[in-house]
């Protein structure tokens, strides 16, 4: 299966979310999550890092269950997938149709949820009884949790299981979701392919501490013509669901509100280690309050499923660049764990990249990234005692010092292409996005009831 067809398959399953808004649930949902101690760790034995919480691994690091490595070809593919996700986000925010890359054609279907992009950060989540664990992409840009599955629609049900698929018929705690029979859906796309799935209700295990009974999630059926969805078996959706969303009660935050209080914290690791996600009181314990926070903002003119913040300025070295004012007279800024590279207004990016070039002028230049997203690149082979410029993101009421790994992007392992890990927005009307590469090694505590985001040094 080709890379482009894999991306299309991912897009097809996620675009099924458009059907959410044509459903009408018969009644409001009220599920009470409970605690069941599982006491198991499902990290690879060679994986270093935290042994508590929900472990986060980089798809191309030593902790990854896939064993993949980040080659130059993989790095290029990540940036291509990332470009598609960024376009998908802005298509959703602006109700635009075109998200395809040049020379690849475009979709002609309104995109209501985001492509998972590179899905760089994975978590292991258990489904059903007995528990079967799947690698899900950690995503703060969508709120519905889904996993690839094989529902039993004909008798007899399948007798053998594929490790990458959840089988409801094999779980003793599975049942139909309350929206049945309207939980079933099928969607046909412009290229004549089809995808579909069903909402189901089952026990879900999150981390070492919690098993949540009667959790509703999307059982997504793979398109047999296009194959699977790569290394991720689905998505753990940590995004916001606004009160106006028909299926807001399906979000993890809502279903676990009594247990976690709509609070969670994550630390995204560099590729060489593992990170974590904590929920509720454990999030407050493991990601202690640093004394300052930045408000989470509501953009009434835009999609409420994203975590909006006010980015005021960025400092690189000794140069501070102001971000254009006017929080929502301009498109605003979102924090997104599914996007890799931070995308900035072109004027801000231009000043910062010029300063990066000035600070790196003693080193030989390298070619830009293949997709043209990353332009300021240098050859740093055999450069000892290299000092990467320090960088600070200035949010409203909060300054965040970035880890050095967050400032640059390595196009390969030999340091022959090290790029400034920021990009200019394709259109000035696009939203500014703080990507996961810049969130590395930071505690990011999302306190939804108090509408604030606390950011401080992490332990991952």
Looking at residue 172, what is its pLDDT? 94
Residue 145 or residue 5, greater confidence: 145
- At 323 the pLDDT is 92
In tens, the pLDDT along 76-125 reads 888 888 888 888 888 777 765 443 333 333 333 322 344 555 678 999 99
Matching residue, tokens 């400032």: 407
Which of these ranges, 129-143, 193-207, 329-343, has the smallest mean pLDDT?
193-207
Catalytic residue among 82, 223, 228, 336: 336
Is residue 175 over pLDDT 80? yes
326 has a pLDDT exceeding 50: yes
Is residue 359 scored above 70 in pLDDT? yes
What pLDDT was estimated at residue 26? 30
Which of the four pLDDT bands, split at 50, 70 and 90, describes residue 153? Answer: low
Q: Which residues of 130-143 are buried (b: 16+ CB within 10 A; e: fewer)?
A: ebbbbbbbbbbbbb
Cβ(14)–Cβ(220) below 8 Å: no
Q: Tokens at residue 48, please?
A: 């270093």
**Binning pLDDT at 50, 70 and 90, where does residue 6 land?**
very low
pLDDT score for 130 = 93
Q: Residue 243 pLDDT > 50, yes or no?
A: yes
- Concerning whether 414 is annotated as a catalytic residue, the answer is no
Condensed to tens digits (0 to 9), the pLDDT of residues 200-213 reads 899 999 987 889 99
pLDDT (tens digit per residue) in 400-410: 999 999 999 99
> Best-predicted range by mean pLDDT among 48-62, 180-194, 302-316, 384-398?
384-398
pLDDT of residue 70: 64
Task: Count the Cβ atoms, other than its own, within 10 Å of residue 88.
Answer: 26
Distance CA 334, CA 12 (A): 24
pLDDT (mean) for 413-420: 89
> d(Cα 112, Cα 115) in Å, to the nearest integer?
10
Note the pLDDT of residue 50. Answer: 62
Please report the pLDDT score of residue 95 as a whole number: 65
State the pLDDT at residue 299.
67
Instruction: Provide CB contacts within 8 A for 425, sequence distance 6+.
Output: 343, 344, 345, 346, 349, 431, 432
pLDDT band at residue 366 using 50, 70 and 90 as cut-offs: very high
Catalytic residue among 82, 114, 139, 430: 139
Give me the chain's average pLDDT, please: 78
Of the candidates 416, 428, 418, 387, which has an alpha carbon nearest to the alpha carbon of residue 404? 387
Pairwise CA distance, residues 10 & 28, whole Å: 29
Region of poorest pLDDT, from 63-72, 169-178, 269-278, 355-364? 63-72
Residues 1 and 95: beta-carbon distance below 8 Å: no
Q: What percent of the chain has pLDDT over 70?
A: 70
Tell me which of 440 and 193 has the higher pLDDT.
440
Q: Is 202 a catalytic residue?
A: no
Q: What are phi and psi of 263, to 5 degrees?
A: -130, 135
Neighbour count for residue 186 (Cβ, 10 Å): 11
Position 19 scores a pLDDT of 32
pLDDT at 32 over 80: no
pLDDT surpassing 90 at residue 451: yes
Q: Kindly indicate the confidence band of residue 332, based on its pLDDT and cuts at 50, 70 and 90.
A: confident
What pLDDT is stored for residue 159 in this prediction? Answer: 67
| Comparison of pLDDT for 76 and 342, the residue scoring more | 342
Domains of the chain with CATH codes: 54-97+107-457 (2.40.70.10)
Q: Pick 10 or 27 by higher pLDDT.
A: 10
Least confident of 40-54, 340-354, 356-370, 381-395: 40-54
| Residue of 435, 460, 423 whose CA lies nearest to 273 | 460
Task: Please state the φ and ψ torsions of residue 167, each to the nearest 5 degrees.
Answer: -110, 105
């Amino acid at each position: 299966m080709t890379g482009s067809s894999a991306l299309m398959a991912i897009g097809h399953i996620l675009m099924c979310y458009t059907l959410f808004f044509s459903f009408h649930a018969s009644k409001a949902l009220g599920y009470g999550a409970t605690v069941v101690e599982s006491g198991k760790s499902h990290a690879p034995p060679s994986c270093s890092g935290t042994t508590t919480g929900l472990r986060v691994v980089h798809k191309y690091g030593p902790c990854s269950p896939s064993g993949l490595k980040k080659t130059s070809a993989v790095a290029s593919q990540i940036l291509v997938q990332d470009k598609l996700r960024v376009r998908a986000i802005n298509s959703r925010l602006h109700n635009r149709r075109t998200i395809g890359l040049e020379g690849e054609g475009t979709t002609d279907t309104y995109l209501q949820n985001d492509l998972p992009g590179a899905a760089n950060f994975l978590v292991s989540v258990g489904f059903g009884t007995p528990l079967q664990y799947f690698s899900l992409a950690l995503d703060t840009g969508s709120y519905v949790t889904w996993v690839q599955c094989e529902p039993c629609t004909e008798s007899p049900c399948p007798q053998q299981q594929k490790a990458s698929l959840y089988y409801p018929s094999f779980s003793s705690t599975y049942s139909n979701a309350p929206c049945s029979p309207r939980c079933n859906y099928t969607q046909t796309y412009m290229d004549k392919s089809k995808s579909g799935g069903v909402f189901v209700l089952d026990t879900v295990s999150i981390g070492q501490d919690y098993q949540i009974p009667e959790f509703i999630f999307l059982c997504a059926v793979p398109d047999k013509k296009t194959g699977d969805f790569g290394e991720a078996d689905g998505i753990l959706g940590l995004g916001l669901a606004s009160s106006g969303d028909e299926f807001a009660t399906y979000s993890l935050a809502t279903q676990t509100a009594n247990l976690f209080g709509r609070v969670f914290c994550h630390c995204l690791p560099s590729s060489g280690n593992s990170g974590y996600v904590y929920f509720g009181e454990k999030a407050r314990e493991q990601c202690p309050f640093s004394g300052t926070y930045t408000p989470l903002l509501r953009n009434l003119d835009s999609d409420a499923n994203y975590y909006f913040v006010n980015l005021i300025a960025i400092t690189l070295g000794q140069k501070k660049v102001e971000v254009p004012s006017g929080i929502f007279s301009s498109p605003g800024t979102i924090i997104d764990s599914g996007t890799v590279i931070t995308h900035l207004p072109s004027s801000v990016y231009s000043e910062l990249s010029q300063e990066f070039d000035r600070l790196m002028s003693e080193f030989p230049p390298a070619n830009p990234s293949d997709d043209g997203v990353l332009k300021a690149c240098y050859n740093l082979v055999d450069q000892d005692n290299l000092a990467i410029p320090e960088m600070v993101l200035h949010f409203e009421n909060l300054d965040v010092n970035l880890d050095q790994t967050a400032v640059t992007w390595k196009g390969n392992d030999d340091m022959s292409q090290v790029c400034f890990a920021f990009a200019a927005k394709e259109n000035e009307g696009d939203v500014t996005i703080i990507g996961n590469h810049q969130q590395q090694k930071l505690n990011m505590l999302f306190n939804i009831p108090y509408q604030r985001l606390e950011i401080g040094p992490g332990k991952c």
